[in-house]
Amino acid sequence: MPATKPLVIVTRKLPDAIETRMRELFDTQLNLEDRPMDQAELIDALQRADVLVPTVTDRIDAKVLVRAGARLKLIANFGTGVDNIDVKTALERGITVTNTPGVLTEDTADMTMALMLAVPRRLVEGVKCLEAEEFHGWSPNWMLGHRIWGKRLGILGMGRIGQAVARRAKAFGLQIHYHNRKPVHPDIERELEATYWDSLDQMLTRMDIVSVNCPHTPATYHLLSARRLKLMKPSAYLVNTARGEVIDENALARQIEAGQLAGAGLDVFEHEPAVNPRLLRLKNVVLLPHMGSATLEGRIDMGEKVIINIKTFVDGHKPPDRVIPAML
């Protein structure tokens, strides 16, 4: 790295406090328009920068990375997921990749719990009825939903966020089940009174609510395929605050249209920012515009982690949040 301040190029607008601190510490080029960079702009940034700070909207694949300049030594991702970056190619080219794990756990778990409540209790439908002036007074059989107390929740991915979801859900009286690459520590299982399933198929057939909390990797692409979605009970609900690519969206839409699933709550989509129009037409689906981590506190925490990773790297040390292939 150069003896002078490194050139840090940020691809999107970050909270003011983070941008100000970056300007103080580094030679920082900001994106004042907050417009996503196209591929040509990304390549230009990679050719000039010592450090690139991208977000989930930036696709940094092998075609982009092979055009990177010799100065680029660090990609400090503003976000936990790194499925937008070809980490293997970056490492092969001597470029370190970091992310911001942990800081979004509670915010994402809050949103997951909100969707678990919103879909069975038909909250969005109720709001729309009021807006359309269709509410004419209480009625014993109007807008009936389903309670979640006593129901079985199946968590797909029992990492930090999955465990935070489980703690919230347990407080709401849900029975906790989970599928993961391996069981969590026995102490965590005892705390959550959680049941581990090594077979995802077997878990899906028994759950009342399924929450997707695993990362998007080649192994999890369409993990909830048409075949697996058909295993779920017609009375079950599906919630996804992880990555849209984990679910076959067309198959999900077909299942709900046919009455073979009770509904879904989705904060992420397979082809963001595009949303499947079939899902938009369904009353028993709650759709949010990727808001799971959207708190000011969370964004500032993310930015502070990015700064720590850059500063540590510039000072000649290994940054605390390095991403290595074994983690993916």
The residue among 105, 215, 120 whose CA lies nearest residue 166 is: 105
Rounded distance, CA 87 to CA 177, Å?
32
What is the pLDDT, as a whole number, of residue 127? 96
pLDDT at 227: 98
Determine which one of 228, 243, 249, 299 is catalytic. 243
Beta strand 96-98 pairing with 7-10: unpaired
Spell out the per-residue pLDDT of the chain, length 328, in tens: 445 899 999 999 999 999 999 999 999 999 999 899 999 999 999 999 999 999 988 999 999 999 999 999 999 999 988 989 999 999 999 999 999 999 999 999 999 999 999 999 999 999 999 999 999 999 999 999 999 999 999 999 999 999 999 999 999 999 999 999 999 999 999 999 999 999 999 999 999 999 999 999 899 999 999 999 999 999 999 999 999 999 999 999 999 999 999 999 999 999 999 999 999 999 999 999 999 999 999 999 999 999 999 999 999 999 999 998 765 4
How many whole angstroms separate alpha carbon 106 and alpha carbon 99? Answer: 17
Question: Torsion-angle region of residue 157: left (phi > 0), alpha (psi -120 to 50) or beta?
Answer: left
What is the CA 232 to chain-centroid distance, rounded? Answer: 23
Q: What is the pLDDT of residue 81?
A: 87
Q: Are 152 and 174 spatial neighbours (Cβ–Cβ below 8 Å)? A: yes
**Look-up: residue for tokens 């102490």?**
187
Please determine whether the domains at 7-103+295-327 and 105-287 fall in the same fold group of CATH.
Answer: yes
Q: How far apart are CA 174 and CA 18, in angstroms?
A: 39
- Helix (H, G, I), strand (E, B), or coil: what is residue 207? coil
Q: What tokens were used for 67? A: 């055009």
Q: In terms of C-beta density within 10 A (0-12 exposed, 13-18 middle, 19 or more buried), how is residue 49 classed?
A: buried
Is the domain spanning 105-287 CATH 3.40.50.720? The answer is yes
Residue closest to 81 by CA, chosen among 213, 188, 226: 213
Q: Which among 19, 189, 272, 304 is annotated as catalytic?
A: 272
Hey, where are the domains in the chain?
7-103+295-327, 105-287
Residue tagged active-site, from 71, 93, 290, 322: 290
Q: How far is CA 224 from CA 13, 47, 200, 205, 283, in A?
A: 34, 39, 9, 13, 22
Task: List CB contacts of 98: < 8 A, sequence separation 6 or more.
Answer: 74, 75, 76, 77, 306, 309, 313, 319, 320, 321, 322, 323
Specify the CATH number of the domain 7-103+295-327. Answer: 3.40.50.720
Q: Is 290 a catalytic residue?
A: yes
